[in-house]
């Protein structure tokens, strides 16, 4: 199971919506994930297979952390386009 952390400024609204969408997308594509929301500061101390966030926060993650940049916190089609290939890549590397 992949650990995914969705990140927004406060870790309350947008990251919760994003976590729900990531869980739905992964399930629909047969990928086991545990996507959980977080604020940016808390996420910095977390270990995860993937961090998912918007460009504003993605640039602030240190090298070595795998980050997928989404164009929207709520548009499922865009989130799928942005996140699914990254999830598939991670799964392929673990096999």
Q: What is the pLDDT of residues 17-49, one digit of tens each?
A: 999 999 999 999 999 999 999 999 999 999 999
pTM (2 decimals)?
0.95
Asked if residue 73 lies in contact with residue 18, where contact means CB atoms within 8 angstroms, the answer is yes
Supply the DSSP symbol for 7. E
The CATH-assigned architecture of domain 2-94 is: 3-Layer(aba) Sandwich (3.40)
Give residue-wise pLDDT tens across range 63-83. 889 999 999 998 999 999 999
Distance between CA atoms of 42 and 88, rounded to whole angstroms? 26
* Sheet order of strands, 50-53 included: 33-39, 2-8, 50-53, 67-69
Which residues, in sequence order, are CB contacts of 22 under 8 Å at separation 6+? Answer: 4, 6, 33, 35, 52, 79, 83
Domain ranges of the chain: 2-94
């Amino acid at each position: 199971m992949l650990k995914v952390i969705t990140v927004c400024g406060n870790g309350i609204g947008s990251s919760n919506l994003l976590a729900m969408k990531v869980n739905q997308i992964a399930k629909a594509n047969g990928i086991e994930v545990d996507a959980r929301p977080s604020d940016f500061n808390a996420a910095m101390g977390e270990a995860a297979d993937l961090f998912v966030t918007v460009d504003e926060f993605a640039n602030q993650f240190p090298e070595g952390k795998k980050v997928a940049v989404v164009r929207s916190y709520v548009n499922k089609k865009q989130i799928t386009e942005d996140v699914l290939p990254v999830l598939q890549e991670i799964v392929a590397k673990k096999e």
